[in-house]
C-alpha cells in the first residue's frame, strides 16, 4: 500500500504567515490533485505551545534564525508560528482535506522541536505515525508539503529509516532555502530515497 504524507500545509507557512515559505501556496493545487493517486493520505500539523523553546521570543537578546543549544541539541530559533489553536496553525483554507484519514501533531513539547512527522528532533518521543502506517500495511511513502529543507526532509529520512520505500514529491514541496534543500536532497538520495 502507498501512502501520501502532507506535511504542515498551514497558514503560518504560507505567504503572509509568520514563517512564510517562499511560494508555499503554489503547491496546494498540486497536492489536492495528487491525493487521488494514494491508498492512504495523512497530514501533519506543527502544534506548538505559545512558550515553545524554538521561538526566538523565548530567548531575550536572540533574533530569529540564530542558532542556540536547546536541551543538548542545536536549535534554529524561529519566529513564533503555528501556536496551538490559533488561525496560523490551521490548515490552509485551499487545502482539500477530505481524503485525509489521520492528522499527526508535532512540536507539542516546549522543551524540544519536532521537524519529522515520526519523532521529535532528539528521537525521545514518537508521534505514532510509524505504527499507524505499519498497521495499515503501508510499504511505500511519498512526502509533500512544507518546508522541503526541514519538515519534509526529516520526515522522509525517518520514513526511510523506518523501512518504508520513500520519495519526496518535488513539485509538491517548497524550501525555505533552496541551497540548503539541494544539499539535503543529495543526502536523502544517498540514503536510498527517491525524488519524484
- Domain residue spans in the chain? 2-48+86-195
| Percent of the chain residues past pLDDT 70, beyond the cut | 100
* Residue 9: all three cell numbers together: 500545509
pLDDT, mean of residues 159-187 = 97
pLDDT, mean of residues 91-117 = 97
pLDDT, mean of residues 4-32 = 98
Q: How many CB atoms lie within 10 A of CB 183?
A: 12
pLDDT, mean of residues 159-188 = 97
| Beta strands per DSSP E along 16-174 | 40-46, 67-70, 73-76, 100-106, 140-146, 165-174
What pLDDT score does 80 carry? 97
pLDDT, mean of residues 41-47 = 98
Give the pLDDT band of residue 87 (cuts 50, 70, 90): very high
Identify any residues that bridge with 74 across adjacent strands, giving them in sequence order: 69
Residue 186 buriedness (CB in 10 A; 0-12 / 13-18 / 19+): exposed
Spatial contact of 154 and 113, defined as CB atoms under 8 Å apart: no
Does the domain made of 2-48+86-195 have the CATH classification 3.40.50.850? Answer: yes
What pLDDT score does 48 carry? 97
What pLDDT score does 54 carry? 96
Q: Catalytic site residues?
A: 8, 106, 151
Amino acid at each position: 500500500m502507498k501512502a501520501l504524507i502532507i506535511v504542515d500545509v498551514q497558514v503560518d507557512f504560507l505567504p503572509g504567515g509568520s514563517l512564510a515559505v517562499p511560494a508555499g501556496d503554489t503547491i496546494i493545487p498540486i497536492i489536492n490533485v495528487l491525493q487521488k493517486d494514494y491508498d492512504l493520505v495523512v497530514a501533519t500539523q506543527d502544534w506548538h505551545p505559545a512558550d515553545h523553546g524554538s521561538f526566538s521570543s523565548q530567548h531575550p537578546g536572540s533574533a530569529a534564525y540564530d542558532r542556540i543549544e536547546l536541551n543538548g541539541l542545536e536549535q534554529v530559533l524561529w519566529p513564533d508560528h503555528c501556536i496551538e489553536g490559533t488561525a496560523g496553525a490551521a490548515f490552509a483554507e485551499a487545502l482539500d482535506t477530505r481524503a485525509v484519514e489521520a492528522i499527526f501533531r508535532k512540536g507539542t513539547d516546549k522543551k524540544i522541536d519536532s521537524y519529522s512527522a515520526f519523532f521529535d528532533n532528539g528521537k525521545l518521543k514518537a508521534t505514532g505515525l510509524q505504527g499507524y502506517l505499519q498497521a495499515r500495511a503501508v510499504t511505500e511513502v511519498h512526502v509533500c508539503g512544507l518546508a522541503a529543507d526541514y519538515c519534509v526532509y526529516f520526515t522522509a529520512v525517518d520514513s526511510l529509516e523506518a523501512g518504508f520505500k520513500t520519495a519526496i514529491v518535488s513539485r509538491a514541496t517548497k524550501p525555505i532555502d533552496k541551497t540548503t534543500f539541494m544539499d539535503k536532497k543529495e543526502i536523502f538520495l544517498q540514503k536510498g530515497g527517491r525524488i519524484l
